[in-house]
Amino acid sequence: MTLRVVKTIFWFLAGLGLTVILARILYGPGSVTYLTDILPWGLWKGGGVVALVALGGAGFTVAMFVFIFQWDRYQPLVRGAVLFGLLCYVSVAVGLTFDIGIWWRIVFPLWHWQFHSVLFEVAWCIMLYLVVLLVEFSHTVAERYEMERTLRILKRSTLVLVIAGISLSTLHQSSLGTLFLATPFRLHPLWHTDLLPVLFFVSAMGIGCLTISLVTLFVHRLYNAEPPMNAISGLARISAYLLAAYVVIRLTEILASGEGLLLVQNDWDTLNFWIEISLSALIPIAFLFRKAYRCSKTAVFWIALTATIGMALNRVNVAGLATTNLTQSFYFPAWTEWAVTLGILAAGGLVFFFAVEHFGLFQGLTKEHVVERYEPGQLDHTDWAALYFGGQRFGEVHLYSLVFVVGLALSLGLLPDDAIYGVSPETTVTFGARTVVAHKIPARGDEAGTQFLVGNGGEDGIHAAAEVHVLMVDGNRDGDYVLFDHDNHAATLAGEDDPDASCVLCHHMSKPFDEATQCYECHSDMYLTVDLFDHDLHARELGGNQGCAECHQDPSAPKIRENSTECVDCHEGMRQEGSRVQVTDPTMQYFAPGYMHVMHALCETCHEERQPTLPVPNENFARCTNCHQGLPSLRSDIWKSARMSIATYTTRSDSGGGGQQ
């Protein structure tokens, strides 16, 4: 593959990703990703952030070998390693910017200090290390432009900068592993371990040595130059020891924690684990401990490529892929996610090529080698205006400009509707409550609450229970429900003499010709606010255009909601007097918030007010568990059985004394 072909591909990918990035900025990450609330970390976080941080370990690793250990053998690679680390971290910052919901808040950690957050520490370490890398690479820039005074200052501060870079890298490489310690119930046991900070740090050093070797070999091949194999073979040997330590630590921890049987199970996670560890460590170790392979350009290239892919897979697994089994979810990146990731990497690659050609990153890559790879008059750094308007035939600049524009256009044509017009929230239709029979045991003595027995089996206890009809509230029909004793609430809130007097406390609005309209009929979406006014229905009932004047009485005013007659002027019984629910925002008078929101707001506020007046103290009365009590889901196998165990499936309705809710 020639240099022109590689650059052409990179320019195309950069254009492809730029369009998607602009769409993401306009309409949010949901417009161009397949991420969900269950799996919020996808390709951008796993592949574009967590994996690149590991690969960027080449910068501090090689700098430590050269400036701290004084191993001059690796001097030919240090400039390239520093720039490669810088580009990796810049790509991480760019990718993270587009991954977070409100992208411009990427700078908030500068003044919003959250000392208890691991992400806060990671963010600050990355920002500071980026500054260190920029200053370190400025040494090369100052040398190129003969800035003698600046160069002298930078030389004096080199050791301090290298030590700062090593310290910051040690902190954030390990802290990135610490971040995933918070996911013990999401991450598969083969990946979740208390040693994740150690594993992340050791593997970053090991893969950093191989990644810079891979990049160096690739660049020298493109420019037809001889790579510094003495330095590359030395890094390969160090990497073999580091990766061996990584494997020993990881496998020992799995066996010591009692999870060894997971290594031989016949499932996807075990297969994924062995593929990952084979590519990232076992195969590279097997070859790198042999000198013949370490000294072979071809062998080191393919070994380094294998290890890089394997370690990237490890980071992707930890960041999300190894959570799909426990979360029972599925995710595959959208093409737009691939476009952004590859576009950012391609842009970084173009910057690296520019530095190779202008700043002398590698000793063996002289200006003569660069000139030889281009036809006369077609160098990238030739004046662009002269190339476009100077009468020259189709050249390098024309080619790269064309493929960049083609990438932009192709990406724009393939964008999904959400990325062009904005994301439309998914609707979740609600349903009314169902009436079911349950057995209710009143509280005994000083106990708080009542006990509901659900099911047909287990006669013990039924003799002491009253058979009652309760509402099974399952608004979105997902199988998870709350049992609501409607009759008991009506009697408790209004008194035994007139139970119906309490209806208006909750049923605050009624549809025309209806009384005590059920909640779901207005709050018809589980999460979204819906408009109660049906314009098409009113137009039909009022005779089409002839009926407009019924609501829009001023013919000179625009026919908009603000200039129409109030709904209560026609529907006098629409609002109920004395209700607990009062809409104070005039703009929300005829809008119904999401079903889940209003149910929680109504029940919680009422329980909070009544809790101090309970005859039997009950600290759980206003908490979530008072209603959400872990009853078996309607989708569980237990409901498919003809008989259920009352002893096993019971619920306590933690309310006031004497069974009163």
Tens-digit pLDDT profile for residues 163-189:
888 888 888 888 888 888 888 888 999
User: Among residues 204, 194, 312, which one has the least CA distance to residue 254?
Assistant: 194
What is residue 312's predicted lDDT score, i.e. its pLDDT? 93
Interior/surface letters 323-357, b for 16+ CB within 10 angstroms, e for the rest: bbebeeeebebbebbbbbbbbbbbbbbbbbbebbb
Residue 654 confidence (pLDDT) above 50: no
Complete edge-to-edge strand list for the sheet that includes strand 466-473: 482-484, 466-473, 434-441, 450-453, 650-653
Q: Look at residue 307 and tell me whether its pLDDT is greater than 80.
A: yes
Q: Which of 87-96, 229-238, 468-477, 647-656 has the lowest mean pLDDT?
A: 647-656
Residue 645 has pLDDT above 50, yes or no: no
pLDDT of residue 225: 86
What was the pLDDT predicted at 449? 65
d(CA 482, CA 626): 10
Question: Does 588 have pLDDT greater than 60?
Answer: yes
pLDDT band for position 649 (cuts 50, 70, 90): very low
Report how far residue 159's alpha carbon sits from residue 637's, in angstroms, rounded to the nearest whole number.
Answer: 65
**Spacing of C-alpha 306 from chain mean position:** 27
pLDDT at 547: 80
Quick one: pLDDT band at residue 661, thresholds 50, 70, 90?
very low
pLDDT at 375 over 70: no
User: Count of CB atoms within 10 A of residue 427's CB?
Assistant: 12
Please answer whether residues 191 and 317 qualify as being in contact, where contact means their C-beta atoms are separated by less than 8 angstroms.
yes
pLDDT at 34 over 50: yes
Give the residue, 1 or 220, on which the prediction is more confident: 220
Instruction: Map residue 604 onto helix, strand or coil.
Output: helix
Q: Is residue 36 predicted with pLDDT exceeding 50?
A: yes
- C-alpha distances out from residue 426 to 20, 423, 480, 591, Å: 22, 9, 20, 18
521-549: burial string, b at 16+ Cβ within 10 Å, e else: ebbbbbebeeebeeeeeeeeeeeeeeebe
Whether the predicted pLDDT of 391 surpasses 80: no
650 has pLDDT over 70:
no
Residue 374 banded pLDDT, cuts 50, 70, 90: low
**Model confidence over 120-153: pLDDT tens digits?**
888 888 888 888 888 888 888 888 887 888 888 8
Least confident of 153-162, 536-545, 571-580, 645-654: 645-654
Token representation of residue 84: 């490669």
pLDDT band, residue 117 (cuts 50/70/90): confident
Q: Is pLDDT of 530 > 60?
A: yes
Maximum mean pLDDT: which of 279-293, 569-583, 584-598? 279-293
**What is the spatial distance between Cα 85 and Cα 57, in angstroms, rounded to a whole number?**
7
Position 596 scores a pLDDT of 93
Higher pLDDT, 314 or 396: 314
Whole-number pLDDT of residue 446: 56
* pLDDT (mean) for 68-88: 91
Look at residue 14 in the predicted model and tell me its pLDDT.
94
Per-residue H/E/C for 356-385:
HHHHCCCCCCCHHHHHHCCCCCCCCCCCHH
Mean pLDDT of 228-247: 94
Q: What is the CATH number of domain 33-333?
A: 1.20.1630.10
Looking at residue 651, its pLDDT comes to 43
pLDDT confidence tier of residue 325, bands split at 50, 70 and 90: confident
* N-terminal to C-terminal alpha carbon distance within the chain: 76
Q: Quick check: 11 and 4 in contact, CB under 8 A?
A: no
563-581 residues labelled b (16+ CB within 10 A) or e (exposed): ebeebeeeeeebbbeeeeb
Most trustworthy range by pLDDT among 6-20, 611-625, 632-646 = 6-20
For the segment 510-514, the average pLDDT, to the nearest whole number, is 84
Q: What is the mean pLDDT of residues 65-79?
A: 90
On the question of pLDDT at 242 being above 80, the answer is yes
| Domain limits, CATH 1.20.1630.10, in the chain | 33-333
Q: Average of pLDDT values for 194-205? A: 92
What is the average pLDDT value for the chain, to the nearest integer? 83
pLDDT band at 270 (very low <50, low <70, confident <90, very high): very high
Whether the predicted pLDDT of 518 surpasses 80: yes
More confident residue, 311 or 397: 311
| Ordered alpha helix ranges (H), 479-566 | 486-494, 503-506, 519-522, 535-541, 548-551
Q: Which of 164-178, 241-255, 499-513 has the highest mean pLDDT?
A: 241-255
Please check whether residue 490 is in contact with residue 505, taking contact to mean a CB–CB distance below 8 angstroms.
no
pLDDT tens, position by position, 6-20? 999 999 999 999 999
Q: Output 171 or 380, whichever has higher pLDDT.
A: 171
Q: Provide the percentage of residues in the chain whose pLDDT is more than 70.
A: 88
| Lowest pLDDT segment from 275-289, 307-321, 425-439, 484-498 | 484-498
pLDDT at 361: 83
656 has pLDDT over 60: no
Q: What angle do CA 45, 175, 29 make, to 5 degrees?
A: 20
**103 with 97: CB under 8 angstroms?**
yes
Model pLDDT, residue 289: 92
Q: Is the pTM of this model over 0.95?
A: no
The pLDDT of residue 457: 44
